[in-house]
A and B are shown apart, each in its own frame.
Chain A
Amino acid sequence: QVQLQQSGAELVKPGTSVKLSCKASGYTFTSNHMNWIKQTTGQGLEWIGIINPGSGGTSYNVKFKGKATLTVDKSSSTAFMQLSSLTPEDSAVYYCARGTIMDAWGQGASVTVSS
């Protein structure tokens, strides 16, 4: 069955970067786009962007341009999201979700930005 396994919780300091991973299994990785979504109590669910694993092509929410960078490693069927220049406002749970209808979700990765 389709599974998206995300990396674990991160506690990071302001101003640093973090790279989250999402390992796909149970389907052909390059056949479906991969989304990244941010969830906070205050702002709810926010779409960060999407990547085409086959071509590496990306599309970002303008709000997250410069903050998030999406990449993939086709050899390991893994999608990555790097978040840079972290501030406390980046503290959230981040999800990867498959395809244009988000039909499979990872378990989420908690990122806490604190000094």
Chain B
Amino acid sequence: DVVLTQTPPTLSATIGQSVSISCRSSQSLLHSNGNTYLHWLLQRPGQSPQLLIYSVSRLESGVPNRFSGSGSGTDFTLKISGVEAEDLGVYYCVQGTHAPWTFGGGTKLELK
């Protein structure tokens, strides 16, 4: 199975600070069809996960544009440009290129 390694496991930030989360894959996530199925989720405390970014860099409808995704192959990054209080929670990367789909271990974003 593809292993997704997220760093850091915990991230402390102040409101307005910009932060980045890394997701590294044990295999290239470039599918034979040319697409890369690497997505980012946020799970707020007590809630279900929600989709933020899909296919590396595409912003899900309704998600603020302070969120952005980048990367290719095995290295991917989620950036939040100006953290807001509502952004606190656990961020997960997930890949759907190789079966079975797998998730990263999560990065907990907390207030400093």
Contacts and interface: CB of A to CB of B under 8 A. Distances in A.
B60 A103 contact: yes
Interface string A59-86: 1011100000000000000000000000
Given A95-B49, A106-B48, A44 B106 contact: yes
Interface string B15-55: 00000000000000000000001010100000011110011
Interface stretch (B65-73, B81-89, B96-104): B96-104
A61 B2 CA distance: 12
For the residues of A in contact with B, the DSSP-based class is mixed
A47 B102 CA distance: 6
Contacts of A45: 49, 92, 94, 103, 106
Nearest to A96: B48
Nearest to A46: B103
Contact of A47 (B48, B49, B51, B100): B100
A108 interface: yes
B45 to A, nearest CB: 13
B110 to A, nearest CB: 17
A87 interface: no
Contact of B51 (A61, A102, A106): A102
Nearest to B54: A101
A28 interface: no
B90 to A, nearest CB: 9
A103 B101 contact: no
A82 B41 CA distance: 26
B50 to A, nearest CB: 7
A108 B48 contact: yes
Nearest to A107: B48
A105 B49 contact: yes
